[in-house]
Amino acid sequence: MKDNDEPLTAKAMTLSSARRQFMFNKTSGASAFLTDAPILWQNALINFLYIMYFAVEKKAFLWYNTCIYVIKDRESLVFSDIFFLYVFLPLFLICYFAARNTKLKNAVLIVFSLFFYAWGEPVWVGLLIFSSVFDFLNGRFIDKHKDEKIAVLGVIVSCAVNLSILGVFKYSGMIVDGINTLLSLSLPVPDFHLPIGISFYTFQSITYVVDVYRKKARAQKNYFGYLLYLSMFFQLVAGPIVRYNTVSREIENRSVKIHEFSDGITRLIFGLGKKVLIANSMGQLATQFLTFDTAPTSVLAAWSGVILYSLQIYYDFSGYSDMAIGLGLMCGFHFPENFEHPYISASATEFWRRWHISLGTFFRDYMYIPLGGNRKHQLLNIAIVWFCTGLWHGASWNFIMWGLYFGVLLVIEKTFLLKVLEKAPKIIGHIYLLIAVIFGWMIFYFTDTSKMGACFGAMFGRNGLAATDLLTESQLKGSLWLIIAAIIICMPVYKGISAFGEKLAKKSAASFTLVSAVKILFLAFILFASTVSLVGDTYNPFLYFRF
Active-site residues, by number, are 393
Closest CA to 512 of 499, 497, 500, 501: 501
Q: Using an 8 Å Cβ cutoff, are 434 and 344 in contact?
A: no
Per-residue three-class SS string for 285-352: HHHHHCCCCCCCCCHHHHHHHHHHHHHHHHHHHHHHHHHHHHHHHHCCCCCCCCCCCHHHCCCHHHHH
In whole angstroms, how far apart are CA 76 and each of 115, 126, 204, 409, 546? Answer: 11, 16, 21, 36, 11
> For residue 331, how many other CB atoms are within 10 A of its CB?
21
Burial readout 218-254 (b: 16 or more C-beta within 10 A, e: otherwise): ebbeeeebbbbbbbbbbbbbbbbbbbbebbbebbeee
Other Cβ atoms closer than 10 A to 85: 18
DSSP secondary structure string for all residues of 197-229: THHHHHHHHHHHHHHHHTTSSPPPSSHHHHHHH
432-468 burial string, b = 16+ CB within 10 Å, else e? bbbebbebbbbbbbbeeeebbebbbebbeeebebeee
Mapping DSSP to helix (H, G, I), strand (E, B) and coil, where does residue 40 land?
helix
In three-state secondary structure terms, 354 is helix
Instruction: Centre a 10 Å sphere on the Cβ of residue 116 and count the other Cβ atoms it contains.
Output: 22
| Cα separation, 37 vs 525, whole angstroms | 12
Chain mean position to CA 153: 34
Provide the 10 A C-beta neighbour count for residue 474: 9
Residue 390 phi, psi (nearest 5): -65, -45
